[in-house]
Structure 1
Amino acid sequence: MMRALFASLSFSLLAGCAVTPAGESAAEDLVQEDVDIDAAEGEVDGAALALSSAVTFQAETPFYIPPRVGGDADFGGHGPRTSLEVELHVFNGNEVWASVHIDAIETKSDWTRAEGTGWFHLYTAPREITGILSPTYFEHEYLDTNHSHDLFSFSTGNLVSLLDYVGDTKGNEAGTRTGVQVFFQPITVGLL
């Protein structure tokens, strides 16, 4: 039974390697070697033996509406021009969080604007996270030209798989309806 457990996990020799900061690839700092299962009880050639694995999970944020920070709350058919930045972070050693920064600004008139950053908990790992092995940053811009939801999909290899925006609507929307929901590609984290 122990052999089956060890067979599903990979062994890494940590010979003086520092813990990888969030956002960097842990794979670059780990020396991977084939190790005899029976040698797993201590040291191999004088180096401490650590058990490591990776977990992949699906995630999405709730719909985030940033506060109105300028203008009269109505984009009035003038955009908005929207910029988005999404970034993954590791907090408390084992939690993956996403920051979602959106800035939507009217293209003329009184420059109605909604801007802010939402923080969303995506995953809690059972052990310490050594690093995020997926992309950790994504940015997107677009100009809204209608009163409906705007959907954008992205290929594998990006942090994000789908964005669901609301820009301009009929009536007032800045601070009450303009915003975004982020759907992520599968996210992989390394575990200690």
Structure 2
Amino acid sequence: MFRKLVSLALPAVALGLAGCGTDMMEQEPTAQAAEPVATQGQALTSVVLNKPYLPFFVPPLRSGDAEFGGNGPDMDIDFEMELRNNNTELWVGMAIWAREVGGDTYAQGDVWYKVFTAPSPIQSITPVGVKPEGPEFHFGYRDYGHATDTFQFPQTIPASRLVWQLSCVGDTDDKEAGSRTGCSAILHDMTITY
């Protein structure tokens, strides 16, 4: 039935176009000026931060003799985002806990890094929005050697991970808590809209 309708319609269309004098495929498109409509979305700007880097941070010694001595440590790292100064600045905090397994050596502290300043209040951040409570990213592990430990966290779909790579030093061959134990991080690309 469909083939019959098409075969009847094509000759009628061809007859109607035969007297036009120009081929419809070769015509230049005509530009129509649309009247601009202002919306709130048009006033927003988005910026992509490519893999922001958070420098190595060593939390201070809180207790013990500063020597993990091959007993871990158990490492816990949290990352939080915060908007400051009338929501025009994006800050990322890194908190580190390093606890000796079966001992009393303990290092703990946090540091905040300003990663972006916008000319107007920030409206959204992806892949992760600022959560009202709790960390945007947490990772924990037990250190089993003296080498630098590096972990990568591929982005999820939809994008929800803040941290792309984490590099940490736990135990070393000497006293390290408060002097060498710590972490650095590289964040995933972030899109900030303001």
Judge same fold: TM > 0.5, yes or no: yes
Aligned counterparts of 2:57 and 2:185: Cα–Cα separation in 1: 9
Aligned counterparts of 1:159 and 1:68: Cα–Cα separation in 2: 27
Moved over 4 A (4+): none
* Identical-residue share of aligned pairs (%): 34
* 1:130 Cα deviation after fit: 1.1
Counterpart residue number, 1:55? 47
Q: Does 1:75 align with 2:102?
A: no
Give the alignment of 1:1-192 within 5 angstroms.
38-40=36-38, 51-58=43-50, 59-92=52-85, 93-109=87-103, 111-136=104-129, 137-157=136-156, 158-191=161-194
Answer yes or no: is the 8 Å Cα contact 1:104–1:114 preserved in 2: yes
> Residue by residue, what CA displacement relative to the aligned partner does 1:42-87 show, whole Å, maximum 9, x if unpaired?
xx7xxx7861132110211110100000110000000000111101
The letter of the residue matching 1:151 is T
Greater helix share, 1 or 2? Answer: 2
Aligned counterparts of 1:88 and 1:147: Cα–Cα separation in 2: 30
Q: TM-score, normalised by structure 1?
A: 0.73
**Structure 1 vs Structure 2 CA RMSD:** 1.7
Give the total of aligned pairs: 149
The letter of the residue matching 2:81 is L
* 1:131 Cα deviation after fit: 2.4
* Structure 2 unaligned regions, length at least 5: 1-33, 130-135
The letter of the residue matching 1:68 is L
* 1:182 Cα deviation after fit: 1.1
- Higher Rg of the two aligned structures: 2
Counterpart residue number, 1:9? none
Question: Aligned pair in 2 of structure 1 residues 52, 82: CA closer, same or farther (>3 Å)?
Answer: same
Q: TM-score, normalised by structure 2?
A: 0.72
Aligned counterparts of 2:35 and 2:146: Cα–Cα separation in 1: 61
